[in-house]
Amino acid sequence: MFESNLTADPSNRKTSRRAFLLSAATVGGGLYLWHMSLFSKKTETAEASVENKANQTPQEVTIVEFTDSGERKDTVHVPKIVKSDAEWQRELPPNAFNITRHDDTEMAFTGQYWNNHDSGLYRCICCGTALFSSDTKFESGTGWPSFYQPIAEENVESINDNTFGMRRTAVACTRCDAHLGHVFSDGPKPTGQRYCMNSASLKFVKKA
């Protein structure tokens, strides 16, 4: 009955179609506004979380200090460095920001230090904490600077990383939580470890 009436009167068919399109547009617009509202709330929540974290009393961490020549100094308790994304973005090159603050990875054989053979110290690009010595650097063939151990266990943290469906161990700077790279159990003696780092996370200080 409904179908025959539409056929018989074209104006009814046009009116029905117009009403349908208007209804669909209204629903679609409502869904879009709802989605944008949720997105806005999530963004505000994330920003507020970072701001609240930055305003809290900094957690203290233990690190070992080193001179630029690699001489071990004191073990100290220092406040963890916490900054907002906006602050880090102002201080770091884009590549370093994406890698250290958002766990990105540079392409193999493109980093500044993968083929560096000079003697010296590798510090965190974000906070300057000593991380690795050239004495423990080795040729891994991976295209990333690789070390068989950190300069001090206190200066780096190991974090479980299950992204991309893989079980890996990420490595971060103890002082500022900068993402450095990953550690694998296929390195040389004496540790058998391969700390596979991003050049963009490091700042090399050449030994005088």
Active site residues: 196
Closest CA to 118 of 192, 193, 208, 198: 208
Q: What type of residue is 77?
A: H
Q: What type of residue is 29?
A: G
Q: Which residues contact 48 (CB under 8 A, 6 or more apart)?
A: none
Dihedral (CA of 11, 16, 20, 22) sign:
positive
Q: Which residues contact 172 (CB under 8 A, 6 or more apart)?
A: 156, 157, 159, 178, 179, 180
Structure tokens at 150: 């950190």
